[in-house]
Amino acid sequence: MGAGLPAGCAAQEGEEVVVASYGQGRLWLKPYDWTYLRVELPPSFSSVTMDFETDMDIQREHMKGIPRSELAIICLMNSNPPIPDISESYLDSLLSNFLPSGPFGNGNIINQSNLAQCLPFQKNITVVRTNDQISPGVWYIGYFHGIGPARTQSKMISRGKARLVSTHITVRECPTSAFWGPYCNQTVEMIGCSQPSIDNNNSRNLLDLNIERRNSWYPREHNRRINILSQSQLVEKEVGSNVTALARMENSVTCSISNNSLCVRQGDMKFYFLDVVDLALQFEITAANFGVIEPSLICYLRYNAFPQRDLHDYSGDISHDPLVVKLPNIGRWYIAIETVNKTQMNNTASKPVLDTMCFSLKWQLTGCLNGKTGTNCSWEVYGLQRVPRRSPSIPFESYYIPSDERASLEDSHFYLEQFLSNSSHEQIAWTYFFLDVPRGSAGALIHVQLKSDKELNYELYSKYGGLPSNDIWDYYASRTSSSNSSVFFSLQNSTNSDMDLSIFYAKEGTWCFGVKHPTDTANSQTYMSVSLQGCHRNCNQKGVCHSSVDESGLTFYSFCTCDRDHGGFDCSDELVSPNGHIWQSVFLIASNAAAILPAFWALRQKAFAEWILYTSSGISSALYHSCDVGTWCILSFRVLQVSY
């Protein structure tokens, strides 16, 4: 993105300032060509406007009549590059969700991380997104000219006209951190946090604070409770669990809100945000100290975006019971609070309602010490370190092993049983491994393999940004079933003793893999390998894996260039059958025998110039058609390829 403009000192509520802009004048897409553009939205953004100009104008009613080889589309997706034609059903769903022209996305939410939204090329397209519609972070725009399995098929001749698209993107934010919302007309306060140091003067907010550094944890459970009072004092107390109390004060965190901020007028909403910077079991929010007249205090929570009454991740009445979030994602959580009078909700006669309600909030974060998590903090959590491969075929190609002396840097796998959690109270336990996908590598895939010398009775759960569980996960696989409903997940080559899965175009950041296993694993030996790779199954041996860089130059992505007979994302789609390939070769190559007769006639007439012309033309045409059908090429496609 281009350089941002500084916020002016005179900026007021409701005014937005431009913080970043990007312009791309002319992008030519040849037939079956595609590329991506990375767009980063800062946490403080209020809106983003994307303007596209193309040399096509595809109307909705004409979409079905256009061959997919000629269809040009633009796709928008959160966190990872979109692959609209990874399957026929996925492509159909994206095209069926096409929105009319005009401001694209007004009132339409595409905040789901695994959902793209696409629209065909039109003369002028405007995409407007606000921070109550999409989350901040990395977004990818995909430009595709020709979609379907043939997009990755090798072609010596690319038939068709190149298409032109121009892009201009503007990112705006509110002038100060006190103003938030899509129109900068809402105020929000951070639940400020600090960590006492030795000199008691080093205070940092939670964004800069790594709570619970695993190397300094005790193997005990603790709760942190911070009471945020609406009166003139802030009371902090550390509440121990039934196991033990927190013993090390250097890990304590103090969170507070200014004294007068916990009073809400009827019909208004108050907004706050807090940051979870490490793996946690849960956090909960509750309220107290209402006074004589108790309203219902409704709390809305949303991860990484502003909550609304009809758009949030969690909600509840916190005037009596806390709102609990199990296994929260690492990152920023936004909180909205409003008061609703109970008697008005029940349509009964009510006492006079106070115009403003004041109360206190309690926020409690529950975690474990010393690399533990789960029930009674008895389950193991390990960090995996990334080891780059020597002479990688693509950027970022690497494997992951535990940061432990039990694993060798020279081995790309490790034996699982020595790391599994032990429990004498339960028959089933969990063991967690977390890893980081580096910045700029969202165009790679995570490949995980489990291989055992006995029947594999493990289940594997994965989740981005937090701990997975039986109920909360992004992808799941076992010996008998998996979450194959996702087009970005593949489970293949699995047997009774082997599990092999891939996550396509894995988003950059923290991933956690949870292994659910019996506690008695002494008689089995299983090795686990986790790697960051380029192409799925090495293009199934039907193509070559390549890598490229998006238009911003900040993200690489891998893709397959398939042979003449195959196509699709991983070259698994057979486009030309073996028999069809043979007949194509015979007819196209043999058709050049027609040059034999004029060449023979010219030779008999001693017209040597014509003989050379006819003979060379026939041979050249035969070589050309032999390469075009994939039988044999005298040179590579890249050398021979032409477009018209």
Q: What DSSP letter does each residue of 529-541 carry, written as one string?
A: EEEEESSGGGGGG
- CA–CA distance, 25 with 29 (Å, rounded to integer): 13
DSSP single-letter state for residue 472:
-
Let me know the angle formed at the C-alpha of 113 by 111 and 116, rounded to the nearest 5 degrees.
80
Give the type of residue at 272: Y
Q: Is 416:382 a contact under the CB 8 Å cutoff?
A: no
Please report the pLDDT score of residue 481 as a whole number.
75
The phi-psi region of residue 465 (left if phi > 0; otherwise alpha if psi is between -120 and 50; otherwise beta) is: left
Q: Which residues pair with 249 in a beta bridge?
A: none
Q: Pick from 412, 396, 264: which is nearest to 335 by CA?
A: 264
Q: Is 44:173 a contact under the CB 8 Å cutoff?
A: yes
Q: Pick from 152, 151, 83: which is nearest to 542 by CA?
A: 152
Q: Is 367:280 a contact under the CB 8 Å cutoff?
A: yes
Helix (H) or strand (E) holding 500: strand 498-503
Q: Is 304:135 a contact under the CB 8 Å cutoff?
A: yes
Return the residue matching tokens 């709570």: 211
CA 368 to chain centre: 27
Q: Is 301:323 a contact under the CB 8 Å cutoff?
A: yes
What angle, rounded to 10 degrees, do the helices at 608-628 and 596-604 form?
160
DSSP single-letter state for residue 351:
P
- CA–CA distance, 520 with 189 (Å, rounded to integer): 49
Q: Which residues pair with 70 in a beta bridge?
A: none
What are the extents of the domains in the chain?
Answer: 17-178, 186-372, 378-534, 578-643
Residue 598 in tokens = 């004029």
Q: Is 297:319 a contact under the CB 8 Å cutoff?
A: yes
Residue 422 in tokens = 């032990």
Residue 584 in tokens = 């194509």
Considering the domain 186-372, what is its CATH architecture? Sandwich (2.60)
Please report the pLDDT score of residue 107 as a whole number.
39
Give the strand pairing for 428-437 and 379-388: parallel
Return the residue matching tokens 């107290």: 288
Please report the pLDDT score of residue 461 as a whole number.
95
Same topology between domain 17-178 and domain 378-534: yes
Please report the pLDDT score of residue 605 as a whole number.
81
Please report the pLDDT score of residue 9 as a whole number.
39
Nearest 5°: phi and psi at 571?
60, 25
Please report the pLDDT score of residue 54 as a whole number.
95
Nearest 5°: phi and psi at 587?
-70, -40
- The CA R_g of the chain, rounded to the nearest whole Å, is 30
Q: How many residues are recorded in the chain?
A: 644
Let me know the angle formed at the C-alpha of 397 by 393 and 401, rounded to the nearest 5 degrees.
140
Let me know the angle formed at the C-alpha of 165 by 160 and 168, rounded to the nearest 5 degrees.
170
pTM over 0.75: yes
Class (C level, CATH) for 378-534: mainly beta
- CA–CA distance, 38 with 552 (Å, rounded to integer): 6
Matching CATH number, 17-178, of 2.60.120.680, 3.40.47.10, 3.40.630.30, 3.40.640.10: 2.60.120.680
**Strand order, beta sheet including 270-276:** 179-180, 186-190, 270-276, 331-340, 296-303, 314-317
Let me know the angle formed at the C-alpha of 505 by 501 and 508, rounded to the nearest 5 degrees.
110
Please report the pLDDT score of residue 198 as a whole number.
31
- CA–CA distance, 461 with 511 (Å, rounded to integer): 11
- CA–CA distance, 406 with 114 (Å, rounded to integer): 36
Please report the pLDDT score of residue 413 as a whole number.
93
Please report the pLDDT score of residue 485 as a whole number.
64
Helix (H) or strand (E) holding 503: strand 498-503
Burial 139-162 (b: 16+ CB within 10 A, else e): bbbbbbbbbbbbbbbbebeeebee
Helices (H), 142-183: none
Please report the pLDDT score of residue 3 as a whole number.
34
DSSP single-letter state for residue 594:
G
DSSP-assigned states of every residue in 370-404: TTEESGGG-EEEEEEEEEEPSS-SSTT-EEEEESS
Please report the pLDDT score of residue 478 as a whole number.
86
Which positions ≥6 away from 390 have C-beta within 8 Å?
none
Please report the pLDDT score of residue 507 as a whole number.
93
Return the residue matching tokens 């397959």: 560
- CA–CA distance, 516 with 212 (Å, rounded to integer): 24
Give the type of residue at 229: L
Q: Pick from 134, 66, 124, 123: which is nearest to 95 by CA?
A: 66
Q: Is 541:405 a contact under the CB 8 Å cutoff?
A: no
Please report the pLDDT score of residue 299 as a whole number.
93
Q: What is the mean pLDDT of each run of 10 residues along the chain (644 residues)?
A: 38 74 90 95 90 88 81 91 83 64 42 68 90 89 93 81 95 83 78 43 33 34 35 31 29 45 77 83 80 75 88 89 90 88 52 66 78 81 93 90 89 93 83 95 94 91 93 88 75 83 93 92 88 93 94 94 91 83 66 75 82 81 69 64 46
